[in-house]
Amino acid sequence: MSARIIDGKARAERLTADVAARVAARVAAGKPKPGLAAVLVGENPASQIYVRNKRRTTDATGMASFSHDLPAAVTQGELLALVDRLNADSTVHGILVQLPLPKHIDPDAVAERIDPRKDVDGLHPYNLGRLALKRPLLRPCTPYGCMTLLADTGVDLVGRNAVVIGQSNIVGRPMALELLMARCTVTICHSATRDLPGVVVGADVLVAAMGRARFVQGGWIKPGAIVIDVGINRDAEGKLCGDVDFAAAKERAGWITPVPGGVGPMTIATLLANTLRAAELAEGAA
């Protein structure tokens, strides 16, 4: 058996095209463009690439893009002051502060300073709380993108055993909440989990998000399972790879996302969909 590939790049292109069409319709109706402010602190090469891609895609959808590049030495107070200005700016509907931040800046303080109505990353405690209560507004981008990819398989998730490897606030925890809302039976695994292979082998749906290159072995995969690989790593040869041993896993899985070309593009597309949603919410749309 060889798994069917879940093409995140193609799905992201369709979502981005839909967002662009809806933005064009807004503008034609005399409404303002949704505005996304992207804040980059320092010169982390990976962050620079991510933010550049996000800004380019924002422009491609016809949205307004606001760039704020700050030096690594910026103080937490200065960064929070910028967030305050963006919160008060009616032309900005979404605020993205790229992580990771320099060690002297508390990322939780920054996340909590963003107006929840402009929190298009979906990481403010208010938005995570709404997700936990099954009343989501702006949902964390990567988990929400993963749910879109899962929906595209056509597999009914109700009652399925889902395993999430990783407990970060950005992916693991909200991913578990998304799967729980889809009526899966959810297990979260982490560094203290005993017999991880024994837990994973029972998963109908596996989401790997621990940031370790090819950590999940093919033999751990339940035959026919759906495998969502969130990891983006470089192996010893410098080649991009995920958290799952793709070559081995695809011989057992029913569906699998590749790296690159899987979850990554969906994260950016979902960010733009969230920005459009934030603009609609600002106008009182349901």
Q: Which residues are catalytic?
A: 54, 98, 121
Q: How far apart are CA 70 and CA 120, in angstroms?
A: 20
Structure tokens at 30: 């005399």
Local structure of 241: helix, strand or coil: strand
Query: The tokens 């949205």 sit on which residue?
Result: 63
CB 63 within 8 A of CB 36: yes
How many CA atoms does the CB half-sphere of 3 hold within 13 Å? 26
Local structure of 266: helix, strand or coil: helix
Q: Which of 70, 182, 115 is nearest to 123 (CA)?
A: 115
Q: Which of 117, 179, 151 is nearest to 15 (CA)?
A: 151
CA 27 to chain centre: 27
Structure tokens at 192: 């203290």
Q: How far apart are CA 116 and CA 118, in angstroms?
A: 5
The burial of 56, by beta-carbon neighbours within 10 Å (0-12 exposed, 13-18 middle, 19 or more buried), is given as exposed
Q: Which of 262, 261, 270, 281 is nearest to 61 (CA)?
A: 270
Q: How far apart are CA 270 and CA 235, in angstroms?
A: 27
